[in-house]
Amino acid sequence: MTPARSPQDFTTALRAHSDRYWHKHPLHLRLHRGELSRQELRQWIANRWYYQRCLPQKDAAIVANCPDPEVRRRWVQRVLYQDGTAERRGGHAQWLDLAEAAGLSRAEVLDERHVIPGVRFATDSYVAFARTRPWIEAVASSLTELFSPELMRERLDALRTHYPWIAASGHGYFAERPAAATEDARHALDLVLTHCTTQERQEAALAALAFKCDVLWAMLDALEHAGRTP
């Protein structure tokens, strides 16, 4: 029987998935170099909205499947972060700010008329994964947030540098999210290291993270293909 990895080796194996993260996708590289047209950037914003909109459903599924009240109390904060509260505007509101700053109407984003099938399918598969797999595997899938803070900082710089036609009122999501993502990733990693102490659970966690990387990459593949199709 193969022994479980040490916490240090397991962490290293999880972090190695950074090579599969979507920061290397050609569409993101073009975005950061300032090479997207207004139409392409608006299409990216409108489609990414669908993914953002579904994140609370994914996180609510983790809460529903988790038997530990302490974990549930902490994890539900992710739902509130995106949906917002009476005291705080959430990530969804900030993403809609970005859409409007880029020249999209709130109505056309909310009715999802621009969402392409590949993005919808990839996102829905991620929500289904969280609903049907053990909660700790769904937590492991969220560990792409280990790699996201720096990407979002680079994206904010790109928006300011290359896309000055997007009003500063649309920069809020990428200005605020890196700090929250860093804390969320730290919490998720602690959970995975605590609960995945057998070789079988560790392999399942690594597979879950690989699946999430594939979901994100598939979304951009679909968008890039749509951009080349008349």
Domain at 75, CATH number? 1.20.910.10
Does 5 map to a domain?
no
Does 155 map to a domain?
yes
Read off the pLDDT of residues 51-68 as tens digits, 9 standing for 90 and up.
Answer: 999 999 999 999 999 999
Alpha-carbon distance 52 to 54, whole Å? 5
Q: Which pLDDT value is given to residue 226?
A: 86
Q: Which pLDDT value is given to residue 81?
A: 94
Q: Which residues contact 32 (CB under 8 A, 6 or more apart)?
A: 154, 155, 158
Does 122 map to a domain?
yes
State the residue for tokens 């529903």: 64
Tokens read off for 172: 């809020």
- Its pTM stands at 0.94
Q: Which residues contact 160 (CB under 8 A, 6 or more apart)?
A: 168, 171
Does 91 map to a domain?
yes
Read off the pLDDT of residues 33-45 as tens digits, 9 standing for 90 and up.
Answer: 999 999 999 999 9
Q: Is the pLDDT of residue 13 over 90?
A: yes
Does 7 map to a domain?
no
Read off the pLDDT of residues 190-200 as tens digits, 9 standing for 90 and up.
Answer: 999 999 999 99
Q: Which ranges in 16-116 belong to alpha helices (H)? A: 26-33, 38-65, 69-83, 91-101, 106-110
Domain encompassing residue 172: 21-228
Q: Looking at the 3D structure of the chain, how many domains does it have?
A: 1
Q: Which pLDDT value is given to residue 215?
A: 98
Does 36 map to a domain?
yes
Does 3 map to a domain?
no
Query: Which contacts qualify for 201-204: CB closer than 8 Å, 24 or more apart?
Result: 201/136, 202/4, 202/5, 202/10, 202/13, 204/134, 204/137, 204/140
Read off the pLDDT of residues 95-148 as tens digits, 9 standing for 90 and up.
Answer: 999 999 999 999 999 999 999 999 999 999 999 999 999 999 999 999 999 999
Q: What is the separation of C-alpha 182 from the centre of its chain, rounded to a whole number of angstroms? A: 13
Alpha-carbon distance 149 to 180, whole Å? 9
Does 57 map to a domain?
yes
